[in-house]
Amino acid sequence: MVSDLPQMVGKTVRVCGWVQTVRAHGKVIFFDLRDKSGIIQTVFIPKNKDFEIAKEVRSEWVVAITGMANERPPAMVNDQIATGKIELFAEGLEVYSKAETLPISIDGDGYEISEEHRLKYRYIDLRRARLHRNLIVRHKVINFMRQFLTGKGFVEVETPLLIKSTPEGAREFLVPSRLQPGNFYAMPQSPQQFKQLLMVSGVERYFQIARCMRDEDPRADRQAEHTQLDMEMSFMSQGEILDITENLYTAIIKTLFPEKTITQTPFPRLTWQQAQDMYGSDKPDMRKDKNNPDEIAFGFIVDFPMFEWLPGDKKWKAMHHPFTMPQTENVDELKSNTAKVLGYQYDLVANGYELGSGSIRNTNMDLFKSVCEIVGVPEAEARKKFSHYFEAFSYGVPPHGGMAPGIDRFLAVVLNEPNIREVIAFPKTGDNKDLMLGAPSEVSAAQLKELGICLDLKKTAEQLEK
């Protein structure tokens, strides 16, 4: 790799990559050759056997160059790049593929280019140094999380992506079943039910780098699919769960982002009401200097209301989700004082953003039935939709709770990116379109027939017009 060349001066090497720039100075041709690790200046002279080929090469051609790694003359040293003290004196050139003129420039940060063009040509957009760095940092953060939690006795478990539809929160993506016509799977909004069932299984400490899908209405900085660090723990209090989360993120910053400063440790823990009174928000920006890009003000918001009233729908909904343990086990109080009942639920926030949320889970099924009734799910329906819960919990369930910080949002904050699309390899637009692949798209009549689906295109068009 290019980054290895400073230690290989005087040796013949072979480097593969993209030609970033071509410069002809008299009879000498200079390439800046780029691979994932950096850039190296390459020199071709007329007596080189492949000089005529080199004269044809243009930017973004993919090539292999064999040559001697030499020290540059002092006057030619480039202090702006890691390999600026050396150059590759070319001896051989092999062209793997040619490139048309790129539809978008990859010089600079790319913020000035329309997002429509950047997402359409995302595979080219990802060549720019900033996005390449973001992908590498993402890998390092996820790898650190895995190692940290494994060291704390957690077990990584994968959970299904085809599940049963449940009234859990956001709108779900549905997947038709070919083998059971008329029935549908749902894509998981989170691994919520499975991680709780893993606690029933005796796993005790679970985590997963989880993919979550939500069919939400268009929002500027949301994605239909996102990634979260999903954790669940048995026999642990709310405070202990917050401690593990705090220790993890403190270690990430200290190890991977030493240039960053955490505003306050231990992280402040404000009640939801305190946050509203002090900041007018449940995701406050608690930085001392909001103009300092290297300051991160973590905090926990606790004691959320268990329910929130939806005036338009004239009904209650769970503030987080119905699996949360209310801060009362008195069913009468739950029903008579619904507006004031708090839940054992909490958020991790930083710099004015919610990074993740969690809760102590409700393992009292009588209480759970009451919560479902309050949010408009009668007992008979709850028993049908959550039959696995009722049955599994009847065989012995430990007290448990968890946390699910979003990885995309954390990376956007710590890398000072304007939105989460800058830290996701292949993001979608705010209205959930994949401009690169052209998704969502129509499917053939044969596919629909095989799935037993008939589309009312006229009715669909009328609904879209409304």
User: What is the three-class DSSP state of 134?
Assistant: helix
Tokens of 305: 């209301």
Give tens-digit pLDDT for 278-307: 999 999 999 999 999 999 999 999 999 999
Burial of 204-242, coded b for 16+ CB within 10 Å and e otherwise, reads bbbbbebbbbbeeeeeeebbbbbbbbbbbbbebebeebb
Mean pLDDT of 397-405: 97
End-to-end CA distance of the chain: 56
Domain assignment of residue 303, yes or no: yes
Domain assignment of residue 37, yes or no: yes
Judge if 91 and 170 occupy the same domain. Answer: no
> Of the candidates 358, 365, 363, which has an alpha carbon nearest to the alpha carbon of residue 344?
358
Domain assignment of residue 151, yes or no: no
pLDDT at 466 over 70: no
Judge if 194 and 76 occupy the same domain. Answer: no
* Angle formed by the axes of helices 129-151 and 238-256, nearest 10°: 140
pLDDT at 91 over 80: yes
Mean pLDDT of 354-363: 96
Q: Do residues 19 and 96 touch, judged by C-beta distance below 8 A?
A: no
Tokens of 149: 């939690």
pLDDT at 258: 97
Q: Do residues 320 and 284 touch, judged by C-beta distance below 8 A?
A: no
Domain count, the chain: 2
pLDDT at 166: 74
Judge if 265 and 392 occupy the same domain. Answer: yes
CATH classification of the domain holding 395: 3.30.930.10
Mean pLDDT of 383-388: 88
The answer to whether the Cα torsion of 242, 159, 381, 387 is positive or negative is negative
* Angle formed by the axes of helices 407-414 and 129-151, nearest 10°: 120
Judge if 91 and 21 occupy the same domain. Answer: yes
pLDDT at 462 over 70: no
Judge if 207 and 85 occupy the same domain. Answer: no
Widest Cα–Cα separation across the chain: 92
Q: Do residues 103 and 124 touch, judged by C-beta distance below 8 A?
A: yes
User: What is the three-class DSSP state of 161?
Assistant: coil
User: What is the three-class DSSP state of 312?
Assistant: coil
State the residue range of the domain holding 21: 2-97
Domain assignment of residue 462, yes or no: no
Mean pLDDT of 61-88: 89
**Degrees (nearest 5) of the Cα angle 142, 257, 205?**
35
CATH classification of the domain holding 72: 2.40.50.140
Judge if 276 and 415 occupy the same domain. Answer: yes
pLDDT at 96 over 70: yes
Residue 277 CA to residue 10 CA, distance in Å, equals 67
pLDDT at 397: 96
User: What is the three-class DSSP state of 69?
Assistant: strand
Cβ-based neighbours of 252, under 8 Å, separated by 6 or more: 141, 144, 145, 148
Place of tokens 């780098």: 209
Domain assignment of residue 184, yes or no: yes
Place of tokens 């004082």: 337
Domain assignment of residue 89, yes or no: yes
pLDDT at 409 over 90: yes
pLDDT at 55: 93
pLDDT at 14 over 90: yes
pLDDT at 128: 94
pLDDT at 188 over 60: yes
> Of the candidates 243, 141, 248, 156, which has an alpha carbon nearest to the alpha carbon of residue 205?
156
Domain assignment of residue 112, yes or no: no
Give tens-digit pLDDT for 206-252: 999 999 998 888 777 789 999 999 999 999 999 999 999 999 999 99
User: What is the three-class DSSP state of 401?
Assistant: strand
pLDDT at 1: 85
Judge if 175 and 68 occupy the same domain. Answer: no
Domain assignment of residue 104, yes or no: no
Mean pLDDT of 26-30: 90
The amino acid occupying position 77 is V
pLDDT at 465: 61
Element containing residue 254 per DSSP (H, E)? helix 238-256
Q: Residue by residue, what is the 3-state secondary structure of 193-243? A: HHHHHHHHCCCCEEEEEEEEECCCCCCCCCCCEEEEEEEEEECCCHHHHHH
Judge if 407 and 310 occupy the same domain. Answer: yes
Residue-by-residue DSSP string for 6-51: GG-TTSEEEEEEEEEEEEEETTEEEEEEEETTEEEEEEE-TTSTTH
pLDDT at 210: 97
